Amino acid sequence: MPVEPIPCAPDSGTGTPVEVTTCCAPSIASTALCRADGTTVLLVVRSGCVECGETAQDPEVVGWIDPATGTFTPGPAPADAGPCDTGCVDTICVQRCDDTDGDGAANATYNELWCVRLDGTTELVLTYEGDPSQPYTPVSPVDCEYGCVETQTYMLCDDTGTFLRRITIGAGQHIVEDLALDGLTPHTVSGTVGACAGDGSPCEEPTTPTATVGLCLADGTPIAVIITRDCTGIVTQDGWVDLTTGAYTPGTPPADTGPCDTTCVDTVCVQRCDDTDGDGAADVTYNELWCVRMDGTTELVLTYQGDPSEPYTPVSPVDCEYGCVETATYQLCDDTGMFLRRITIGAGQHIVEDLALDGLTPHTVVGTVGACAGDGSPCEEPTTPTATVGLCLADGTPIAVVITRDCTGLVTQDGWINLTTGTFSTGAPPAGAMACGDSRAFELAGILCDVDPATDEVLGLVLVEYEYNADGSLASVRLVDPATGTTYTLQGELRHCPTGTEQPDLDLTVLCDIAADGTVTEFVRDYRRDENGQITGHTDYTLDGQPYTPAGTVGVCAEPCRNTSTLLVCDLPTDGIEGAPTAADTSAVPYPWDADPVRCVSPLAGGGQALWDGGSRIFPQDTTAAGTCDPNGFQVLRGVAATLQVPRPSCDDGTVTVTISVRVTNNGPRPGAPNYNGSLRLHRADTGARLALSPMLTATPVSASQTLTVTATVPADLLAAGQLVTVLDLETFDSTGGNTGTAWTADQFTASYAYGITGCETQFLRNVITDCATGEVVAVTDTTLDGQPYTVTGEVGQCTAAGGGQCCPEEPCRNTSTLLLCDLPTDGTPAPTVTDTAPASYYPYPTGVATTGAQTLWDGGTLTLPDAAGPQPGTTGTVRTAAAIIQAPRPVCDAGTAHVSVQVDAAQLGPDDGCASTGFIGLYNGTSEADRIALDLAPRNTPAGWSGTLTVEADVPAVDLAAGNIAVALAFDAYDDSGGICPGVRRTSWQLSQFAATVVYDQTGCATQFLRNVVTDCETGEVTTVTDTTLDGQPYFVTGEPGQCEATGGQGSPEEPCLAQNVIEACRCDDTDGDGVGDVDYVELLAVDCNGALTSLGTYTADLAAPYTPVAPVDCGAGDIGAEPATGVQAHRVQLVTGGTWDASAHPTLRSVTATAHTGTGQITTADGTSTLFQGESVTWAIDKDEDASLTGPLTITASTGITTITFTTGVTL
């Protein structure tokens, strides 16, 4: 705090300064300085006394205090003293987002630890991802789109009093707000901002005793040093407090006192998420407490869940998907005393609660709210009690010791608080209370030796067990046998063990107990050895660990005869490969059957989630199309849709097959219309493209049920990203045939998926061991191809062939045809809209009369143009006219033009024949007669009773058609009194019907070329598979309609000759040694042209790796002597006594051999020389694979001493 001159005391109300006797006293700075070795010093600053009205002297440093010893040293501070690097009043952990793959979207999160200082500035201390001990360097930071904003609030003071400073960091913002103590009203800072402090003047009262922490005794016990400065300027060290017991000791601390090893400048509590049930989603949260040091490094201190005293071990940590709410609690005072103010910020809320000191009872503020401070002098009242934490009862319960120091300097221990229950107890804590984590109830010392004092011989190994009372005092000491855990009886003296002395070894051997009747019982013998390896005893057990006493002759068990088969199989993944995706209701409106407006989809009220969840949905009957999306009012298609999604498995081949099924039932009252009644479809959500379609419903009888099914193989990332939509629409109204509506029930919805896993299998070897006599499987072991143990994680199955160099593998014969096709767009022929408009600009003559109700004609109905009773004023005739605007949406791709065709049926109804030109239909690109681009006329002098079709068509710019610039106009005579042209007055009436307008956008160049690979069976010609790929071989999915590609532009090249349509492989055999029998396989490639003629393209090696020139081609069947003979393996076993010899050369078809020395040693001679077969040792030789002819020597085995057995197998012809 700043040092100020001592104020002069005023008089008793006159306003005249009164000279008072004051004392000059030094003031101790509230912020300590630190030396280079980390120790702390406190500066002593003195401000001189002056007479009232005189200018105050500048304060000066008169000395410094070592708080560890209490020694005062006059003069300036040590040269190496400087500000301590502990300027953080708090730390804030901020979550950030990183774009590591460069797509502009966040795909990784990391954290920043910021230091917050009193002046509101911040400094980045640490950047890490999940583990604070591992620094993280972001690739491309981007704004996060999830998580929560970090907010911290601090209580500070300025010249006007106490206020709150809230600092918000995160979501791309750094906001500092100053607020009043209600947490809502803005506060304007006045003067200097700092930590809040009391108002007493240091020259009017002694300094309040200050406890300086951060020091520890030599044994690590934390202490607090108590210092006080009186009004004469003398600084005294009153004593020190043991923070583990609360005991106060007057005087200076012991000489070995020094700084505690507390290198953490802060701690960070990180919330983590755990997946305990293996479904990949978080279902449990836990916390990690990290220590943050001055240099920014971190260390994990504790992992716990709800109770920090209970360590937690996560099962499978995963990323959390939810945020947090920040809560801060402050102790404030109003006119009634202390209370707690809790401020909660986050998750869309800002809550301020005032509570009593129990943290539960609501508190009503009375008077002014401010920081709490004593009203009197510290020497007029005891110090506020202080709770010291860090202690635990003997059973581990955390407690806090409460101490108070009164005005005489006496420190008393008031009592202690059970921090788990909040219960306060007076007096000292129970005996046995100690620093938390220092558990000494039971302890084992290291291994010592029982030594004979006369011979120094080690008589045994001993563990020393210490047991403590609840108060920490030693209760008992026990000697323990380290092998059995029982109490050990000392025979000699207990000493440190001599070098090389270790615990006796144990070894286990399976032996056989052979009874008199020949019954053999296997058991385990547990040998005990001393430090010199000598057997000192043994214990026998059954194979399941129970004590056993042999009853017959004990010997080595004879080795049973075993056969081993090794199979190459594959571990096929099953996790997440197949199942049912989630189906979430969505709108069906964007996914019609096609682009025809008549088949637009109107939403079903209430959606379809009940259907997707396995229930049913009723599609009520509609009695009109009014208010639906059909512009013509012909029919109503009600639809529901669901978004399908499921995570990708750990491995797939990039495809997934999705199958959707639903049953629909016609509830009546009428059968479905003969045309489209509805369908089940699969669409892409991003483009709306239809991927698959079920058979369409047509003319569905009442009460009839039909199950609709759709299946499609699509890119795996579409299903994983929720970009697949299944749509069901049903016709609930159709105006054709008198159908006034149909109701439906949809139920039995199912959805399934199966990810492709080609290439995901793991090959491994399965070794099956069977008994030679019974054939029973004795053991099955799995290994990798290099012999390491392997654990199956999926489903074991046959490995699929992954290619190979064989000429003609045993696979079904298949032919492959590759066609170049084009994916033709289907959106180039949309149904146009025809809207009635004023015809005057298209027929700008005074004889024209606009016809009302012409929209009926444009909608496909019949329009009658009556004859007229007379001409239009000032003319000799009357002409009935009508016009309409033609508009059609542009497709995704077009060549810039569209062809528009319009026709109408016309009939001349009389009563008179027409005169000269009687009527026409015109097509316009614009709004005037001059913009006419096509015209068709009724016959001249049209006779009564004539009927025919008038047609106009033209190519127009696509942009004009889409913009509604194309128009059609009609004009027909109703009255004609031309006189000189035709004698007499002519009155004619007309009937117009069957109006139709079609548009075709030119989509030349919009087709996408792709390759269609058709695989057929060689014998039946049946198509087995059809695969579509891009021209570079990548999978391709047709979005339009496949068709023949057309030449682009000009006359194109002249027709090329029909070359190879198919290429087939023919297996050939070559006789290279002239014996008439083929001994080399090769392949001839044959081309099949359009007429089926074969042409050789060349001959190649069997694996098509290189060209091959045959020497003497022969029929591959030549010299075939039938199938190869069947072979088998015969088992053998011999027992050699001392001097006996076994020689491998006596067995020319030898395949494997195992030699075992049982009761002595043996001698082995191979091409490498002679070696010893030691007692109990077994060695084995065997061929690597079935193609190896036999196991070759030289190999001889001789029994030197004792018995040696030889187990071997030989190949035989069955």
Tokens of 997: 């307008």
Asked if residue 1087 has pLDDT above 90, the reply is no
Task: Give which of 616, 618, 636, 639 is closest to 628, Cα–Cα.
Answer: 636
Under the banding of pLDDT at 50, 70 and 90, the label for residue 534 is confident
Cis before 911? omega within 30: yes
Examine the domain organization and report whether 221 and 155 are in the same domain: no
Structural domain count of the chain: 8
Examine the domain organization and report whether 887 and 920 are in the same domain: yes
Instruction: Write down the pLDDT at residue 145.
Output: 60
Q: Which residues contact 804 (CB under 8 A, 6 or more apart)?
A: 1103
Q: What is the C-alpha to C-alpha distance for residues 157 and 164, in angstroms, rounded to an integer?
A: 8
Examine the domain organization and report whether 994 and 875 are in the same domain: yes
| % pLDDT > 70, the chain | 78
389-393, long-range: CB within 8 Å, 24+ apart, which pairs?
389/419, 390/222, 390/243, 390/244, 390/435, 390/436, 391/244, 391/245, 391/416, 391/429, 391/433, 391/434, 391/435, 391/436, 392/433, 392/434, 392/435, 392/436, 392/437, 393/429, 393/430, 393/432, 393/433
What does the H/E/C string look like for 560-600? CCEEEEEEEEEEECCCCCEECCEEEEECCCCCCCCCCHHHC
Residue pair 164/181 in contact (Cβ under 8 Å)? The answer is: yes
In a domain, 950, yes or no: yes
Per-residue DSSP letter, 186: B
In a domain, 1009, yes or no: no
Cis before 1113? omega within 30: no
Q: What is the C-alpha to C-alpha distance for residues 977 and 965, in angstroms, rounded to an integer?
A: 36
Task: Give which of 510, 692, 509 is closest to 593, Cα–Cα.
Answer: 692
Task: Please write the tens of the pLDDT for every residue from 409-422.
Answer: 566 777 877 777 76
Between β-strands 848-850 and 877-887, what pairing exists: parallel, antiparallel or unpaired? parallel
Distances (CA, A) of 718 to 714, 827, 1167: 7, 23, 64
Task: Please write the tens of the pLDDT for every residue from 144-203.
Answer: 764 445 666 777 888 888 888 887 765 445 678 888 877 778 999 898 887 675 443 334
Examine the domain organization and report whether 715 and 838 are in the same domain: no
Distances (CA, A) of 434 to 212, 225, 242, 403: 22, 20, 12, 17
In a domain, 522, yes or no: yes
Examine the domain organization and report whether 712 and 593 are in the same domain: yes
Asked if residue 4 has pLDDT above 50, the reply is no
Task: Please write the tens of the pLDDT for every residue from 1147-1170.
Answer: 888 888 999 998 889 999 998 999
In a domain, 919, yes or no: yes
Instruction: Write down the pLDDT at residue 138.
Output: 92
CA 527, chain centre distance (Å): 54
Asked if residue 327 has pLDDT above 90, the reply is no
Asked if residue 1112 has pLDDT above 50, the reply is yes
Q: What is the C-alpha to C-alpha distance for residues 816 and 1064, in angstroms, rounded to an integer?
A: 8
In a domain, 1024, yes or no: no
Per-residue DSSP letter, 694: P
Q: Which of 272, 301, 318 is the last residue of a domain?
A: 318
Examine the domain organization and report whether 1114 and 1169 are in the same domain: no
Instruction: Write down the pLDDT at residue 346.
Output: 47
Tokens of 671: 């059968």
Instruction: Write down the pLDDT at residue 744.
Output: 94
Residue pair 3/47 in contact (Cβ under 8 Å)? The answer is: yes
Q: What is the C-alpha to C-alpha distance for residues 241 and 226, in angstroms, rounded to an integer?
A: 8
Under the banding of pLDDT at 50, 70 and 90, the label for residue 903 is very high
- Side-chain half-sphere CA neighbours of 1152 within 13 A: 18
The region of weakest confidence among 196-210, 489-503, 1138-1152 is 196-210
Residue pair 698/676 in contact (Cβ under 8 Å)? The answer is: yes
Instruction: Write down the pLDDT at residue 69.
Output: 72
Task: Please write the tens of the pLDDT for every residue from 16-47.
Answer: 444 434 333 333 333 457 777 767 777 666 65
Q: Which of 714, 731, 755 is the last residue of a domain?
A: 755
Size of the chain, expressed as the number of residues it contains: 1214
Task: Please write the tens of the pLDDT for every residue from 369-399.
Answer: 877 764 434 344 455 565 565 677 766 677 8
799 vs 920, residue with greater confidence: 920
Measure the CA dihedral 1050/1051/1053/1057, to 10°: 150
In a domain, 796, yes or no: no
Examine the domain organization and report whether 171 and 208 are in the same domain: no
Instruction: Write down the pLDDT at residue 174.
Output: 65
Per-residue DSSP letter, 338: E
H-run or E-run covering 191? none
Question: What is the CATH classification number for the domain harbouring 1141?
Answer: 2.60.120.10
Tokens of 95: 């979550």
DSSP readout, 122-143? Answer: EEEEEEESS-TTSB---SSEE-
Q: What is the C-alpha to C-alpha distance for residues 131 and 129, in angstroms, rounded to an integer?
A: 6
Residue pair 420/309 in contact (Cβ under 8 Å)? The answer is: no
Beta bridge partners of 880: 849, 972
Instruction: Write down the pLDDT at residue 1185.
Output: 62
Beta bridge partners of 664: 706, 746
DSSP readout, 348-391? Answer: TEEEEEEE-TTSSSB----S--B----SS-TTTSPPPPEEEEEE
Instruction: Write down the pLDDT at residue 373.
Output: 61
User: Tokens 């479904």, residue?
Assistant: 279
403 vs 229, residue with greater confidence: 403
Q: What is the C-alpha to C-alpha distance for residues 88 and 86, in angstroms, rounded to an integer?
A: 6
Range of the domain at 1103: 1059-1122
Beta bridge partners of 44: 28, 63
908 vs 530, residue with greater confidence: 908
Tokens of 523: 């058991």
788 vs 562, residue with greater confidence: 788
Examine the domain organization and report whether 126 and 191 are in the same domain: yes
Residue pair 755/648 in contact (Cβ under 8 Å)? The answer is: yes
Task: Please write the tens of the pLDDT for every residue from 105-140.
Answer: 888 888 887 766 655 567 787 788 867 768 889 999
Of the ranges 422-431, 706-715, 1023-1032, the best mean pLDDT one: 706-715
| Averaged pLDDT for residues 69-81 | 79
Give the three-class secondary structure for 1146: helix
Beta bridge partners of 583: 644
Asked if residue 723 has pLDDT above 50, the reply is yes
- Side-chain half-sphere CA neighbours of 251 within 13 A: 4
Q: What is the mean pLDDT of the chain?
A: 80
Question: What is the CATH classification number for the domain harbouring 995?
Answer: 2.60.120
Q: In 187-219, which positions are buried (b, 16+ CB within 10 angstroms) versus exposed (e)?
A: beeeeebeeeeeebebbebbbbbbbbebbbbee
Under the banding of pLDDT at 50, 70 and 90, the label for residue 1061 is low
Asked if residue 400 has pLDDT above 60, the reply is yes
Asked if residue 513 has pLDDT above 70, the reply is yes
Tokens of 680: 């089940």
Cis before 314? omega within 30: no
Q: What is the C-alpha to C-alpha distance for residues 959 and 408, in angstroms, rounded to an integer?
A: 99
In a domain, 405, yes or no: no
1172 vs 264, residue with greater confidence: 1172
Strands (E), 67-137: 71-74, 82-83, 90-98, 108-116, 122-128
H-run or E-run covering 783? strand 777-783
In a domain, 99, yes or no: yes
Q: Which of 755, 777, 801 is the last residue of a domain?
A: 755
Examine the domain organization and report whether 889 and 988 are in the same domain: yes
Examine the domain organization and report whether 601 and 737 are in the same domain: yes
Examine the domain organization and report whether 128 and 241 are in the same domain: no
Examine the domain organization and report whether 187 and 225 are in the same domain: no
Instruction: Write down the pLDDT at residue 205.
Output: 46
Residue pair 1144/1193 in contact (Cβ under 8 Å)? The answer is: yes
